[in-house]
Chain A
Amino acid sequence: MMRFILPLVLFLILSVFLYKGLGRDTREVPSPLIGKAAPEFQLPTLQDPAKQFSPKEMLGKVWLLNVWASWCEACKDEHPVLMEFSMQKMLPIIGVDYKDKRDQGMDTLKNAGNPYDQVISDADGKVGFDYGVYGVPETYVIDKTGIIRFKQIGPITPENLRDKLMPLIAELQAK
Chain B
Amino acid sequence: MRYLLIAIFCLLPSLSFAAVAKDIAEDPKIEMRMMHLAEKVRCLVCQSEPVSTSHSEWSHDVRNIMLQKMKEGATDQQILDMLVARFGKSVLYDPPVDDETAPLWVAPFVMLFIGGGLLFYQLKKRRGKVVDVTLTPQDQQRAAELLNETTSKDPQA
Residues of A in contact with B (beta carbons under 8 Å apart): 26-27, 29-33, 99, 125, 129-132, 134-135
Partner of A32, one of B44, B58, B85: B85
Q: In this complex, what residue of B is CB-closest to A128? A: B61
CB of A150, distance to nearest CB on chain B (Å): 15
> Which of B32-40, B70-78, B86-94, B147-155 forms part of the interface with chain A?
B86-94
Q: Contact between A132 and B47 (Cβ–Cβ < 8 Å)?
A: no
Known: A125-B61, A129-B61. A32 touches B84 (CB 8 A): yes
Known: A134-B44, A134-B58, A135-B45. A29 touches B65 (CB 8 A): no
Residues of chain B contacted by A31 (CB below 8 angstroms) = 87-88
Q: Contact between B86 and A33 (Cβ–Cβ < 8 Å)?
A: yes
Question: What is the bound-complex CA distance between A114 and B151, given in angstroms?
Answer: 84
CB of A133, distance to nearest CB on chain B (Å): 9
Residues of chain A contacted by B90 (CB below 8 angstroms) = 29-30
Q: Which 9 A-B pairs have the closest CB atoms?
A: A132-B86, A134-B44, A32-B88, A132-B87, A134-B58, A29-B90, A29-B88, A134-B45, A30-B88
Question: What is the bound-complex CA distance between A27 and B58, given in angstroms?
Answer: 14
Question: What is the bound-complex CA distance between A131 and B85, given in angstroms?
Answer: 10
**Known pairs A29-B90, A32-B89, A135-B44. 7 more at Cβ < 8 A?**
A32-B84, A99-B57, A130-B86, A132-B86, A132-B87, A135-B45, A135-B58
Known: A129-B61, A129-B65, A134-B58. A27 touches B47 (CB 8 A): yes
Interchain Cβ contacts under 8 Å between A and B, 12 examples:
A29-B88, A30-B88, A30-B90, A32-B86, A99-B57, A125-B61, A129-B61, A132-B86, A134-B44, A134-B45, A134-B58, A134-B87
Residues of chain B contacted by A33 (CB below 8 angstroms) = 86
Q: In this complex, what residue of B is CB-closest to A32? A: B88
Q: What 1/0 mask marks residues of chain B from 120 to 133 whose CB sits below 8 Å from any chain A CB?
A: 00000000000000
Residues of chain A contacted by B58 (CB below 8 angstroms) = 134-135
Residues of chain B contacted by A131 (CB below 8 angstroms) = 86
Question: What is the bound-complex CA distance between A132 and B84, given in angstroms?
Answer: 9
Residues of chain A contacted by B85 (CB below 8 angstroms) = 32
Question: What is the bound-complex CA distance between A134 and B41, given in angstroms?
Answer: 14
Q: Contact between A129 and B47 (Cβ–Cβ < 8 Å)?
A: no
Q: Contact between A29 and B61 (Cβ–Cβ < 8 Å)?
A: no
Q: Contact between A32 and B61 (Cβ–Cβ < 8 Å)?
A: no
Looking at B44, B86, B89, B91, the one whose CB has the most chain A CB atoms below 10 A away is B86
Q: In this complex, what residue of B is CB-closest to A134? A: B44
CB of B102, distance to nearest CB on chain A (Å): 17
Question: What is the bound-complex CA distance between A32 and B58, given in angstroms?
Answer: 18
CB of B71, distance to nearest CB on chain A (Å): 16
Looking at B47, B57, B87, B89, the one whose CB has the most chain A CB atoms below 10 A away is B87
Question: What is the bound-complex CA distance between A33 and B32, given in angstroms?
Answer: 30
Partner of B87, one of A27, A29, A99, A125: A29
Q: Contact between A26 and B84 (Cβ–Cβ < 8 Å)?
A: no
Q: Contact between A32 and B87 (Cβ–Cβ < 8 Å)?
A: yes
